[in-house]
Amino acid sequence: MSMAFNPARWKPAALLPHEEAHDGALVFVVAVLCFLACATAIFAISADRAAQGWANQLQGSATVIIRTKGSESPDMAASRAAEALAGTPGVAQALVLERAKAEALLEPWLGKDGIIKDLPVPRLVTVELDPSAPASAKALDKALRTAGVDATVDDHSLWMKDIIHAGQIARIAAVSLFALMALAAAAVIAFATRAGLSARHDVVEIMHLTGATDGFIANLFQARFAAMAALAGLLGGGAAALLAAGIRLLGGGYGLIPVLPIGWLDLLVALPSPLIAGLVAAIAARVTALGLIRAMP
């Protein structure tokens, strides 16, 4: 081999040794962290979308419970209420819920037969509000009172607060988890850089004494660990995207977890994973390497 060596065709070799035993383990650990971070981000987006959807649904409608007065039949009172509400500004549509449907709503608590037939089941009017300028509960109440209908307006504000709150908690939790994963990845990479520098102390020392600048040596470690982390980010992010795609595909239109509807575009969240992992690794490796090199004379 040595006899065939041609100096004219020589290309400089990498100054850092290739493939240390712990490099594979580092790629695995960082890939797992990237997978968890990307999965967290994808599920956070879908949770946020679900919460937003529920809030929009509740915000765009109201339910009016009609109580009959005097000799007026429940159907008549409900019809009058629907008529009064339909003419109110900010209401797109007001429909009387048929008795059968109202009974169906009570069925889970009272059963199918028996006492439900004997009870004065309240009639309901569902109101679809104008999304651009929805009527307030007060306005609906006023319209009903003007029409002389005894009724209670439920604008779902009680539920909406809880749902919006739940959505906010999901968002904060997702961002916190994501930040935690990124910090953990940075800590792992910083630790690995320190271990790498210790393992290659002789190489660093020779380069240092031969005239390499601190920045040059730091660049070597920065490039090495950024490349490893970018690969780990690709593997981890890809695995998270595959998992999310699997959940989306297996469950039909709503996904395997209907409460968390995953959109195809959500998978793009995993796209910057190699870049972010590489960047975090580059910064962690550079800071660590410079700290250790500067301890040398």
Partner 1 sequence: MIELADRDQVETIVRFDGVGLRYGRAPETLQDLSIELKAGSFHFLTGPSGAGKSSLLKLIYLAHRPSRGRIELFGQDIGRAKRKDLPFLRRRIGVVFQEMHLLEHLTAFDNVALPMRLSGQKPTTYRTDIAELLQWVGLGTKMHAMPETLSGGERQRLAIARAVVARPEIILADEPTGNLDHEMGQRILKLFTELNRLGTTVLIASHDLDLVASSGMPAFNIESGRLTSPYMDATEDDPADDLGLVASGEPEFIYRRPLTLSQEDSLEDEGP
Q: Residue 125 or residue 228: which is nearer to partner 1 going by CB?
A: 228
Burial class (CB in 10 A: 0-12, 13-18, 19+), 231: middle
Q: Residue 154 or residue 214: which is nearer to partner 1 going by CB?
A: 214
Smallest gap, in angstroms, from Cβ of residue 178 to partner 1? 31
CA angle at residue 105 from 157 to 66, to 5 degrees?
A: 65
Smallest gap, in angstroms, from Cβ of residue 19 to partner 1? 10
DSSP secondary structure string for all residues of 127-178 = EEEPSSSPPPHHHHHHHHHHTT-EEEEE-SHHHHHHHHHHHHHHHHHHHHHH
Q: Using the rule CB under 8 A, which residue among 166, 219, 231, 290 binds partner 1?
A: 219
Q: Using the rule CB under 8 A, which residue among 120, 211, 252, 253 binds partner 1?
A: 211
Smallest gap, in angstroms, from Cβ of residue 283 to partner 1? 17
10 binds partner 1 (CB under 8 A): yes
Placement of tokens 């007001």 in the chain: 94
End-to-end CA distance of the chain: 40
Q: Using the rule CB under 8 A, which residue among 207, 235, 262, 267 binds partner 1?
A: 207
In what order do the strands lie in the sheet containing 61-67? 91-97, 123-129, 61-67, 150-154
Smallest gap, in angstroms, from Cβ of residue 204 to partner 1? 11
Amino acid (one-letter) located at 142: K
Q: Using the rule CB under 8 A, which residue among 38, 127, 186, 220 binds partner 1?
A: 220
119 binds partner 1 (CB under 8 A): no
- Find the largest Cα–Cα distance for the chain: 114
| Residues 289, 190 contacting (CB under 8 angstroms) | no
Q: Using the rule CB under 8 A, which residue among 87, 111, 131, 215 binds partner 1?
A: 215
Please report, for residues 53, 59, 89, the alpha-carbon distance to residue 132 in angstroms, rounded to integers and kept in the order given.
16, 11, 11
252 binds partner 1 (CB under 8 A): no
Binding to partner 1 (CB under 8 A): which residues in 167-206?
Answer: 202-203, 205-206
For the chain, where are the E strands, in sequence order?
A: 61-67, 91-97, 123-129, 150-154
Q: Using the rule CB under 8 A, which residue among 76, 103, 214, 231 binds partner 1?
A: 214
Smallest gap, in angstroms, from Cβ of residue 291 to partner 1? 14
Smallest gap, in angstroms, from Cβ of residue 217 to partner 1? 9
- Pairwise CA distance, residues 92 & 231, whole Å: 54
Smallest gap, in angstroms, from Cβ of residue 253 to partner 1? 50
Binding to partner 1 (CB under 8 A): which residues in 14-33?
Answer: 14-18
| Residues 116, 155 contacting (CB under 8 angstroms) | no
Stretch that binds partner 1, among 124-132, 218-226, 256-264, 274-282 (CB under 8 A): 218-226
Residues in the chain: 297
Q: Using the rule CB under 8 A, which residue among 69, 117, 161, 294 binds partner 1?
A: 294
166 binds partner 1 (CB under 8 A): no
Binding residues for partner 1, rule: CB under 8 A, are 1-3, 5, 7-8, 10-18, 202-203, 205-207, 209-216, 219-220, 223, 294, 297
